[in-house]
């Protein structure tokens, strides 16, 4: 029997609807959450992502502003702008769209953002609080994955979760979140990476398999056991002459074959992606409530 499709679009819409209630409560107190996005350069994908985030803000009632700079922007100018936004009371969340041009250190950018406005959850203070089990802001994609699991009835508690990929945006923070003794976690977690031996032996043990390595259709049906829950984080372009653009998006999982074995699976697109944006909105509202003491 084909797998249940875990619909990230539908679940993210439910989360956005619940945020509207919180936003109405803030509005009654004459408080409007504000999100500032900074885009340096003309990376097409980054422009799309920023536009999607701004559009999502507008739909739920979060005020947003975008600073767009040429790719030649000096690092010092960007850091000065972040400092200005740190002190701006109407701005509760700050995100800098990565990647940045070569002359700008992403590490310095992350450190420059006030941890109270770090709605991406990248600042070392927030990472440390996450590891301590006392999170303030959790990174958006891992948090979105956790919400997908819980809201689709696939609580990771007591399960063996295998994560493919140890990146700082998904793999490492997600592992840290899922092994905590808390709701939506309490799992046994294995992280696999480029030096992992006998990879298939490990993936076949997974009750929940999370693919986040950036390799198109890497996970095949032979790598998963019947009844596994598969979360596909990958977004890869492959050539497809039948489409107008000449390409299509696929995940890190060979969806067509794995869905015949798995219990549940996320599609690409329409799975994890919408959840990342929903969690950004959620973090922004949370930041506003903290800063406004509302």
Domains and CATH numbers, the chain: 30-115 (3.40.50.10860), 140-273 (3.40.50.720)
180 is catalytic: no
Residue 120 is among the residues annotated as catalytic for this protein? yes
**Residue 53 designated active-site:** yes
What residues have CB less than 8 Å from 152, skipping those under 6 apart? Answer: 4, 6, 11, 264
Active-site hit among 53, 116, 117, 217: 53
* Tens digit of pLDDT at every position of the chain (294 positions): 789 999 999 999 999 999 999 999 999 999 999 999 999 999 988 999 999 999 999 999 999 999 999 999 999 999 999 999 999 999 999 999 999 999 999 999 999 999 999 999 999 999 999 999 999 999 999 999 999 999 999 999 999 999 999 999 999 999 999 999 999 999 999 999 999 999 999 999 999 999 999 999 999 999 999 999 999 999 998 888 888 888 888 999 999 999 999 999 999 999 999 999 999 999 999 999 999 987
Whether the CA torsion 114, 45, 49, 131 is positive or negative: it is: negative
Residue of 16, 116, 117, 120 with catalytic role: 120
Instruction: Say which DSSP state 169 is in.
Output: T
- Candidates 16, 97, 232, 291; catalytic one: 97
Which is nearest to 291 in space by CA: 23, 87, 92, 62?
A: 92
Q: Return d(Cα 100, Cα 261) in angstroms, integer.
A: 40
CA separation for the pair 197, 59 (Å, rounded): 46
């Amino acid at each position: 029997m084909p797998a249940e499709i875990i619909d990230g679009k539908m679940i993210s819409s439910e989360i956005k609807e619940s945020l509207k209630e919180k936003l109405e409560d803030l509005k009654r107190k004459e408080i409007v959450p504000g999100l500032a996005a900074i885009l340096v350069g003309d990376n097409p994908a980054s422009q799309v992502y920023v536009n999607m985030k701004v559009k999502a803000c507008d739909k739920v009632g979060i005020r947003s502003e975008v600073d767009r700079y040429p790719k030649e922007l000096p690092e010092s100018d960007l850091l000065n702008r972040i400092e200005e936004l740190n002190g701006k009371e109407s701005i509760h969340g700050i995100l800098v769209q990565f990647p940045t041009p070569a002359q700008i250190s992403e590490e310095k950018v992350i450190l420059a953002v006030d941890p109270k406005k770090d709605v991406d959850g990248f600042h070392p203070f927030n990472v440390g609080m996450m590891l301590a089990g006392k999170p303030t802001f959790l990174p958006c994609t891992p948090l979105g994955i956790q919400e997908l699991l819980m809201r689709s009835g696939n609580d990771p508690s007591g399960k063996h979760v295998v994560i493919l990929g140890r990146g700082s945006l998904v793999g490492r923070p997600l592992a840290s979140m899922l092994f905590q003794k808390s709701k939506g976690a309490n799992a046994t977690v294995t992280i696999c990476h480029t030096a992992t031996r006998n990879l298939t032996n490990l993936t076949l043990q997974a009750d929940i398999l999370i693919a986040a390595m950036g390799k198109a259709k890497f996970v095949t049906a032979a790598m998963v056991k019947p009844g596994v829950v598969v979360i596909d984080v990958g977004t890869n372009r492959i050539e497809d002459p039948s489409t107008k653009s000449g390409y299509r998006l696929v995940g890190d999982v060979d969806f067509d074959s794995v869905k015949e074995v798995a219990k549940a699976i996320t599609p690409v697109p329409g799975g994890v992606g919408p959840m990342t944006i929903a969690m950004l909105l959620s973090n922004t509202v949370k930041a506003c409530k903290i800063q406004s003491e509302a």
